[in-house]
Structure 1
């Protein structure tokens, strides 16, 4: 935000999937500071029946540009650059934010989150053996890894990829961390083996779930009153449970699951959660 204001921005451009939590949060931020939000979303305009984050995007009157999913995930940088140029021609001064807010600036958010976790450990007189999170663009895990390296935090960090594969995210996160270290001129040893990915829970693809994923979401809601979503946290929780069941941790290990939101997107998945049940009018 400081950087965007320093550049005199009056418009923010970012991108994500049709139910992107990040895109919705960016649009909210824009409206709170009086900027024009522009969202590049993967998919096609449903035309009616807006649900979840997309409904909120529409309530915020965000300018939405629809693109093919494949183009979004493989050419997001070029799409954002093209949109920024178009907005400049309209008289705006755009600030561009990458998908998921994941760049060397965005990593600071989860470095700060790591600090908050450490402070809570002290307040609770405990320590965590492991932390699990969902990985959709790599910023969450990347920031936590940087924090771990900065203070030599004695915890194991695991990311569960919700799309693509573990190899892709190991390379992406490694590049992000190295860029951050170089940009800030840190004399910090970076160990690639700290990037521990848990693969195998993508299911049919991004924002698509499985019957096992649906049952887990229902079970956690009934047992704990905690809502997971099929896009991010549901897959990450599934990966964590499987690793525990497979004996990946000693008994009485203290494991933290980092819930990164997604409840609004849950409303768009009603048909997957309860097939055949039509919403009441």
Structure 2
């Protein structure tokens, strides 16, 4: 037994629901599409990082940490949820944020940046986009250690071996829900960025000897770079839980055709996807992750990637606060 898989906090009282997207499926005329509502996970406004933080925060507490330090973009869902977990556990939290590659940094921004202040981040350090975020976190950590405090560093997206355990658990949850509903899922489609969600899902399905394939839709990087990133984390996670030798590199599939000009830069396909899901199913996606991931799923359906009898599960990784930072994308033109 690997006890690390059982050492976690619990921020969500039960499994997140899976809903059939009947109207979207009919609109696209393709496979049967369902959605796993990880936007309904616990902590402030939910999202996939909650699953990773259940393990990461438990590890931090086990090590006696009093402060969480993490990093991300200025509208980072991961930073919001890490801060919320710190509040829940009575820990302090410091954030290193990367300024946008395009446009100016707005310290009065809404969305997640507003929530960082509302939730009471102890310190917010904003650095230029070309800075090494891990190195900047190390600087903060060293300062805390000199003050007699015990920081715990969490990488971008919570994506390391410990964080990936959250999506191994999710894969097991999906398998249980598939069994209960008599609906095996041929594919899971998810946004892929820091890689922990995709790596954890693949490892979890492998542990269950499931035939479900995982397709990651890139939100940054080209296909080769993203697949290498996910595979490296997948192999480390597999070794961590005792699945050495059971992972095949071809299980890592990433689609890079829906990134557009770059990370967090809107595309027409993303806007269409967000509007289509809102108007057919009443579900909000976000412009950075799930909007581009759904654009990828829609594009793959239109290309005939899936059979009409396939069951495709879209993983909703959260992030809807970011919608309110770009209202001009979705309001009628005047």
Settle same-fold status: TM greater than 0.5: yes
1:219 aligned residue: 276
Distance in 2 (alpha carbons) for counterparts of 1:41 and 1:187:
35
RMSD: 1.6
With a CA cutoff of 8 Å and minimum separation of 6, indicate the structure with the bigger relative contact order. Answer: 2
Q: Which residue of 1 aligns with 2:125?
A: 65
Match of 2:146 in 1: 89
Deviations 1:126-151 (A, max 9, x none): 11111100011001100011112212
Tell me the equivalent position of 1:55: 114
Listed one character per residue, the Cα deviations across residues 66-115 of structure 1 (whole Å, up to 9, x for unaligned) are 011232xxx23222222211222233210110000000001100000001
Pairing partner for 1:182 from 214, 224, 239? 239
Aligned to 2:264: 207
In structure 1, the gaps of 5 or more residues are: none
Partner SS, residue 178 of structure 1: helix
Query: Which residue in the other structure is 2:163 paired with?
Result: 106
Runs of 4+ in structure 1 over 6 Å off: none
* Pair 1:14 & 2:73 matched: no
Residue aligning to 2:195: 138
Is the 2:94–2:124 Cα contact (8 Å) retained in structure 1? Answer: yes
- From 32, 36, 43, the equivalent of 2:92 is 36
- With 212-221 and 58-67 compared, the bigger mean Cα shift is at 212-221
Query: What is the distance in 2 between the residues matched to 1:254 and 1:206?
Result: 29
Is the Cα contact below 8 Å between 2:269 and 2:292 reproduced in 1? no
Give the 3 Å change call, closer, same or farther, for CA 208–83 of structure 1 in structure 2.
Answer: same
For structure 2, the 5+ residue unaligned runs are 1-56
Q: Describe the SS at the equivalent of 2:130.
A: helix
Q: Matched residues in 1 for 2:332 and 2:287: separation?
A: 14
User: What do the CA deviations read for 1:36-73 (whole angstroms, capped 9, x no partner)?
Assistant: 1101111165232x3111100011121110011232xx
Among 210, 217, 230, the alignment partner of 1:173 is 230
Q: How many residues align?
A: 273
Secondary structure of residue in 1 paired with 2:162: coil
Q: What secondary structure does 2:161 align onto?
A: coil
Indicate the larger mover: 145-154 or 177-186: 177-186
TM-score calculated relative to the size of structure 1: 0.92
Shift of 1:276: 6.2
3-state DSSP of counterpart to 2:316: coil
Aligned partners of 1:176, 1:212: CA distance in 2, in Å?
A: 29
Task: Using the TM superposition, give the Cα deviation of residue 228 of structure 1 relative to its aligned residue in structure 2, in angstroms.
Answer: 1.1
- SS of the equivalent of 2:140 reads helix
Q: Secondary structure at the match of 1:106?
A: helix
**What secondary structure does 1:38 align onto?**
strand
Tell me what 2:254 maps to.
197
Task: Summarize deviations over 1:204-256 as a string: whole Å, max 9, x none.
Answer: 21111112321221121111101111100000001111111111111121100
The residue aligned with 2:304 is: 247
Aligned to 1:25: 81
- Mapped partners of 2:234, 2:284: distance in 1: 31
